[in-house]
């Protein structure tokens, strides 16, 4: 137990994520002198002591945009990730645990949503909405991204359902709600945790993709919107690297760190994937700490 | 048990899903505030067209798209058109039909993505299997490298490649599917021109795809490496090459599924790559259609993408039902 279980890869990933979070959420409070939308120069000025990362096509400071853009992207990612994971876990657990007609119905519904490519639904909803706040966009992203979580959670729940501790709990008279909350969901928490990490990275990347199509959050700046303007104003083909390299690097770092975090969490939770650790010489004690004693379940 | 019943039930589900997909394609554009025709006509009025003309155009469009009928009649009409393969007329490029526009764009997208997917799949799986088997620094390097390229957003790869290979070191053309002034035809000159424009988008897709496949294959193979049959093979003294082949085959099943599914997403898979390189495929078509409020084109593409994914999913399920006895068993209720 304790920190010894985590690999170096986990700490590296966690460190990068923490750094990006710090940059997006704390940096705007530190550099108060930098206002979004303030014009500090001309079209694509080179980086200088005044504008550390140069200026964009409207003469705005790229560093300021980067701070606030990272914040917007992170907020969208976290909100959308939380909502999507929530919907996925509720529907997936219900389907996997109940089975039968409920499962067929819910999974049919899930597969239908999954069949419609999310980017197109996103595009259509975004156009229909007209103006989109950050939170609205997060909700729209969540609504289109929950199905795969629901599918995976269903598989997990279906396998947990067959375990014996559920029979014990059922015999002791536990109701369906209590069974699901105390005997099914806790056994999937490690998985839900990883799904959340993936959902966050997916939402950040989808937001960027949507913004690059010109359908990002209105009246603000996000990493994707920075890229959209950089592409629209040909900064790539004119060699103004400061306009598109910073958001690209931040998006890549964030996506990479989140995936690495997920995969190292997977190694922690799923011992068969572990390989680089020294094998323990002595056999571990027999009692597994996360197994609930039967007596407690019987007392319900 | 009876395979036909399994297949029949799956087919019914997928037909239902298809129906819902069509329904969504029909309804979503009509949920847009006002309606598509109002949007088009109001954008024309900004272009300085006279009021009486506008009203005539409006009435003509409303009649042509059946917007004056109740919703269910519109839907029946829509289904009838679909059955004839008629996706309607584009708003923005008016005489051109949607199916013609898609027909022009689709070959570019397929020619770009099918080779990228196949080559990326082969190289990625080979890399993943070797990395898992050898272990050590090769594994760490290959794993981290492929995790990095695969987790890199594909449009970021595209932007950086475009900057490096077309601007910093201008060896490849920066945009388009062929040189300006050329017309698509089957001549050696045009094909070689199209090929030089092909490399950048192709590379940006392959890099990402190799990474993704290698990560998946590696974790499958690491899983297989710890299994009993590998230990038994080692005990028998089989050569490494033989063992790797067994592992490869066993780890293959989910990878084949992945291949089938990515071929399903072929149509809508790399929309933004095409936009970054202004490649004349489906992505660019969708992008311009969205910016011009060209709803018939948008819904035509949506439908195409949805149908491709549904068909791919269905084929995978059928193949699994035939190949994998465990799925038939689960279907019999022997979980």
Query: Of residues A264 and B333, which shows the higher confidence score?
Result: A264
Residue B171 distance to chain A (closest CA, Å):
13
pLDDT reported for residue A277: 45
The B residues from 117 to 146 touching A (CB cutoff 8 Å) are: 135
Over residues B210-214, mean pLDDT: 86
Residue B312 distance to chain A (closest CA, Å):
10
Tokens of B180: 């300006």
Burial of A251 (0-12, 13-18, 19+ CB in 10 A): buried
Closest to B88 measured CA to CA, from B71, B100, B72, B103: B100
Q: What is the rounded CA–CA span in Å between residue B261 and residue A206?
A: 19
Rama region for B76: left / alpha / beta (φ>0; ψ in -120 to 50; rest): alpha
Tokens of A223: 């990493």
Chain B contact set for A213 (CB, 8 A): 271-272, 275, 287, 290
| Residue with the two structure tokens 């300006």 | B180
Chain B contact set for A158 (CB, 8 A): 335
Pick A209's closest partner by Cβ from B147, B155, B335. B155
Instruction: List C-alpha distances in Å: A83 to A135, A196, B103.
Output: 11, 9, 39
Q: What are phi and psi of A174, to 5 degrees?
A: -70, 140
Interior angle at CA B55, CA B50 and CA B58, nearest 5: 120
Q: What is the rounded CA–CA span in Å between residue A194 and residue A84?
A: 13
Chain A contact set for B31 (CB, 8 A): 128
Q: A238: nearest CA in chain B? A: B167
Lowest mean pLDDT among B220-224, B281-285, B291-295, B303-307: B291-295
Q: What are phi and psi of A291, to 5 degrees?
A: -85, 130
pLDDT reported for residue A292: 32
DSSP secondary structure letters along A275-297: -SSPPPSSPPPSS-TTSPPHHHH
pLDDT reported for residue B103: 87
Which residue, among A97, A98, A113, A120, would best test binding to B if mutated, counting the most B CBs under 10 Å from its CB? A120
Long-range contacts of A167-175 (CB under 8 A, 24+ apart): A168/A294, A168/A297, A168/A298, A169/A297, A169/A300, A171/A298, A172/A297, A172/A298, A172/A299, A172/A300, A173/A300, A174/A297, A174/A300
**pLDDT < 70 regions, chain A:** 1-5, 115-116, 120, 127, 130, 271-300
Chain A contact set for B21 (CB, 8 A): 112, 115-116
pLDDT reported for residue A284: 39
Q: What is the rounded CA–CA span in Å between residue A11 and residue A15?
A: 6
Tokens of A252: 């890549």
Contact A232, A240 (CB under 8 A): no
Q: What is the rounded CA–CA span in Å between residue B198 and residue B279?
A: 9
Residue A35 distance to chain B (closest CA, Å):
27
Quote the DSSP letter at residue A56.
Answer: -
Tokens of A66: 């980067």
pLDDT reported for residue B299: 80
Q: What is the rounded CA–CA span in Å between residue B243 and residue B249?
A: 10
Contact A221, A208 (CB under 8 A): no
pLDDT reported for residue A291: 32
Chain B contact set for A116 (CB, 8 A): 21, 24, 302, 306
Pick A123's closest partner by Cβ from B162, B276, B290. B290
Pick B153's closest partner by Cβ from A123, A252, A275. A252
Closest to B91 measured CA to CA, from B60, B116, B117: B60
Residue B71 distance to chain A (closest CA, Å):
19
Pick A127's closest partner by Cβ from B32, B150, B166. B32
Residue B70 has pLDDT above 80, yes or no: no
Instruction: List C-alpha distances in Å: A299 to A167, A169, A293, A295.
Output: 14, 9, 11, 6
pTM of the model: 0.78
User: Beta partners for A61?
Assistant: A55
Burial of A289 (0-12, 13-18, 19+ CB in 10 A): exposed
Query: Of residues B29 and A227, which shows the higher confidence score?
Result: A227
Q: What is the rounded CA–CA span in Å between residue A41 and residue B277?
A: 29
Q: What is the rounded CA–CA span in Å between residue A93 and residue A127?
A: 33
Lowest mean pLDDT among A180-189, B45-54, B59-68, B199-208: B45-54
| Dihedral of alpha carbons B308, B312, B313, B314, sign | positive
Interior angle at CA A265, CA A260 and CA A267, nearest 5: 100
Closest to B335 measured CA to CA, from B52, A281, A197, B326: B326
Contact B11, B314 (CB under 8 A): yes
pLDDT tens, position by position, A221-232: 888 888 888 887
Instruction: List C-alpha distances in Å: A235 to A58, A190, A241, B316.
Output: 12, 43, 7, 43
Chain A contact set for B315 (CB, 8 A): none
pLDDT reported for residue B242: 84
Lowest mean pLDDT among B20-34, B192-206, B248-262: B20-34
pLDDT tens, position by position, B131-154: 887 777 878 888 878 877 877 888
Closest to A243 measured CA to CA, from A75, A66, A9, A93: A66
pLDDT reported for residue A281: 38
Tokens of B127: 């890399």
Contact A207, A76 (CB under 8 A): yes
**CB-based contact (8 Å) between B254 and chain A?**
no
Which residue, among A12, A16, A116, A212, would best test binding to B if mutated, counting the most B CBs under 10 Å from its CB? A116
pLDDT tens, position by position, A215-260: 778 777 888 888 888 887 777 777 778 888 888 989 988 988 898 8
Contact A21, A74 (CB under 8 A): yes
Quote the DSSP letter at residue A45.
Answer: P
Interior angle at CA B331, CA B328 and CA B333, nearest 5: 120
Chain A contact set for B273 (CB, 8 A): none
Mean pLDDT across chain B: 78
Helix (H) or strand (E) holding A216: none
Q: What is the rounded CA–CA span in Å between residue B242 and residue B233?
A: 9
Tokens of A175: 């109701």
Q: What is the rounded CA–CA span in Å between residue A93 and residue B78?
A: 38
Tokens of A186: 């806790």
pLDDT reported for residue A75: 92
Chain A contact set for B152 (CB, 8 A): 252, 255-256
Are A236 and B159 within 8 A, CB to CB? yes
Cβ contacts of B11 within 8 Å, gap of 6 or more: B314
Q: What is the rounded CA–CA span in Å between residue B266 and residue A144?
A: 19
């Amino acid at each position: 137990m304790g920190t010894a279980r985590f690999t170096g890869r986990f700490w590296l990933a966690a460190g990068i994520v923490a750094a990006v979070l710090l940059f997006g959420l704390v940096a705007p409070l530190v550099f108060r002198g930098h206002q979004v939308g303030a014009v500090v120069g001309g079209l694509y000025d080179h980086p200088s002591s005044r504008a550390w990362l140069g200026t964009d096509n409207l003469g705005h400071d790229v560093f300021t945009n980067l701070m606030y853009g990272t914040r917007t992207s992170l907020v969208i990612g976290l909100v959308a990730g939380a909502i999507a994971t929530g919907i996925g876990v509720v529907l997936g657990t219900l389907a996997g645990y109940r089975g039968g007609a409920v499962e067929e119905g819910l999974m049919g519904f899930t597969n239908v949503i999954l069949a419609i490519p999310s980017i197109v639904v996103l595009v259509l909803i975004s156009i229909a909405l007209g103006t989109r706040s950050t939170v609205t966009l997060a909700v729209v992203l969540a609504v289109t991204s929950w199905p795969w979580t629901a599918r995976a959670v269903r598989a997990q729940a279906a396998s947990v359902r067959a375990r014996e501790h559920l029979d014990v709990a059922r015999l002791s008279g536990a109701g369906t709600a209590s069974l699901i909350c105390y005997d099914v969901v806790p056994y999937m928490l490690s998985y839900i945790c990883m799904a959340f990490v993936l959902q966050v990275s997916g939402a950040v990347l989808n937001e960027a993709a949507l913004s690059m199509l010109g359908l990002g959050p209105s009246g603000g700046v996000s990493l994707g919107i920075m890229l959209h303007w950089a592409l629209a104003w040909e900064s790539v083909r004119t060699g103004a690297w400061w306009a598109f390299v910073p958001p690209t690097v931040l998006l890549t770092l964030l996506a990479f760190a989140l995936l690495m975090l997920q995969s190292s969490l997977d190694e922690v939770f799923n011992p068969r994937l572990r390989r680089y650790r020294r094998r323990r010489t002595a056999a571990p004690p027999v009692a597994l700490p996360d197994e609930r004693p039967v007596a407690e379940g019987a007392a319900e | 048990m009876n395979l036909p019943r399994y297949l029949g039930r799956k087919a019914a589900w997928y037909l239902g899903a298809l129906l819902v997909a069509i329904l969504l394609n029909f309804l979503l554009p009509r949920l847009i505030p006002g309606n598509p025709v109002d949007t088009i006509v109001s954008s024309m009025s900004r272009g300085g067209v006279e009021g009486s003309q506008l009203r005539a155009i409006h009435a003509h469009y409303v009649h042509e798209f059946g917007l004056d009928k109740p919703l269910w009649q519109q839907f029946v009409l829509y289904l009838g058109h679909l059955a004839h393969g008629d996706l309607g007329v584009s708003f923005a490029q008016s005489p051109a039909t949607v199916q013609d526009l898609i027909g022009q764009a689709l070959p570019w997208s397929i020619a770009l993505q099918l080779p990228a997917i196949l080559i990326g799949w082969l190289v990625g799986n080979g890399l993943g299997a070797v990395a898992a088997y050898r272990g050590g620094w090769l594994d760490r390097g290959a794993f981290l490298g492929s995790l990095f390229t695969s987790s890199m957003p594909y449009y970021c790869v595209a932007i950086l490649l475009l900057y490096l290979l077309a601007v910093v070191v201008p060896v490849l053309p920066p945009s388009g599917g062929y040189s300006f002034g050329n017309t698509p035809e089957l001549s050696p000159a045009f094909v070689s021109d199209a090929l030089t424009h092909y490399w950048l988008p192709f590379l940006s897709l392959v890099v990402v795809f190799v990474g993704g496949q290698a990560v998946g294959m590696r974790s499958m193979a690491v899983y297989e490496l710890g299994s009993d049959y590998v230990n038994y093979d080692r005990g028998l003294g089989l050569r490494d090459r033989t063992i790797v082949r067994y592992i490869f085959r066993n780890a293959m099943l989910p990878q084949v599924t992945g291949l089938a599914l990515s071929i399903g997403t072929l149509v809508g898979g790399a929309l933004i790559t095409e936009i970054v390189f202004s490649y004349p495929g489906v992505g660019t078509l969708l992008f311009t259609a969205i910016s011009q409020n060209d709803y018939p084109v948008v819904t035509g593409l949506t439908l195409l993408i949805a149908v491709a994914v549904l068909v791919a999913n269905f084929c995978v399920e059928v193949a699994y039902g035939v190949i994998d006895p465990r799925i038939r068993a689960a279907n019999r209720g022997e979980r």
